[in-house]
Amino acid sequence: MAYKIILDPGHGGSDPGANFNGRQEKDDALALAMAVGKLLTNAGFDVEYTRTADVYNTPFEKAMIANNAGGDLFVSFHRNSSAVPNTYTGVQTLVYNREGLKEKLAENINKNLTAIGFEDKGIVERPNLVVLKRTKMPAVLIEAGFINSDKDNELFDNNFNEIAQGIADAIIDTLDDSGISATDAQVYTIQVGAFRNGQLANNMAAQLKAMQFPAMVVFEDGLYKVRVGEFKSLDNAVEMEQRLRAMGYNTFIRS
């Protein structure tokens, strides 16, 4: 299974987040999360979103979506706001506490975004923020500049692709430093059969097991699929596939 990154566009639906001259935080958050997600997907990561449309979920529901999806990392996207427009500028990343992977990730995000021109408003511990507290995986929340700062909005709009790339690079580099890469987490398995009838699948699996193949049946997309093994190396998967093919099975390797 590939390393799974959950991207959480802040707010949504009936909750617009912060507003400034008709600009809504929820729209900036969604656009940025989707752009970062595309880059991470291209890099081979498994990416899921808490929303991809203009819908509302409570922060608690967002945390549960991430937990139920089995996420390995959670990144929430927001824009900051101050009481009086054009008083503050800069990027800030929030974490539950300053420990481990999430602190390193927050540092790298701030570093990459300040390189684009944002002021560095640092890393802030927010242990009571629901999406940071209730998610079971390392989590960060990015405040990508102030939405009620003309300077930050100009930076946000003129450097949108660079900002998305900077965040994606920060994620990839932080994971890389911790020995995690999208492809390392890849597992290969050999599919030997797919049946509408579960009994046929069980029969095939039993037959394979009798010959010492590590077979199992998985129900997926309306079919009972018979699969053999879980291999970290493609070479090992290919080797076993050749043995199965020599015995007359129609196989393919899936990752």
What is d(CA 86, CA 47) in angstroms, rounded to the nearest whole number?
A: 35
Q: Which CB, 25 or 46, lies closer to Zn ion?
A: 25
29 vs 39, beta carbon nearer Zn ion: 29
- The site for Zn ion (CB under 5 A) is made up of 10, 17, 78
The nearer residue to Zn ion, 17 or 71, going by C-beta atoms, is: 17
Q: State the nearest-atom distance from the C-beta of 10 to Zn ion, in Å.
A: 4
How far apart (Å, rounded) are the C-alpha atoms in residues 224 and 31?
A: 38
Least distance in angstroms from the C-beta of 61 to Zn ion = 16
Contact between 5 and 42 (Cβ < 8 Å): no
Sign of the alpha-carbon dihedral angle for 94, 100, 104, 109: negative
Chain position whose Cβ is nearest to Zn ion: 78
Find the catalytic residue in 143, 162, 220, 230: 143
In the complex, what is the shortest distance from the CB of residue 4 to Zn ion, in angstroms, rounded to a whole number? 23
CA nearest to 75, candidates 135, 23, 147? 135
Collapsing DSSP to helix, strand or coil, 9 comes out as strand
Question: Is the CB of residue 192 less than 8 Å from the CB of residue 216?
Answer: no
- Residue 143 appears among annotated catalytic residues: yes
CB of 167 vs Zn ion, minimal distance in Å = 16
Shortest Å distance, C-beta 67 to Zn ion: 21
DSSP per-residue codes, 91-152: EEEEESSS-HHHHHHHHHHHHHHHHHT--EEEEEE-TT-HHHHS-SS-EEEEEEEETT-HHH
Name, in order, each residue with C-beta under 8 angstroms of 234's C-beta and a sequence gap of 6 or more. 188, 253
Decide: 191 and 226 in contact? Cβ < 8 Å. Answer: yes
Q: Which residues are catalytic?
A: 143
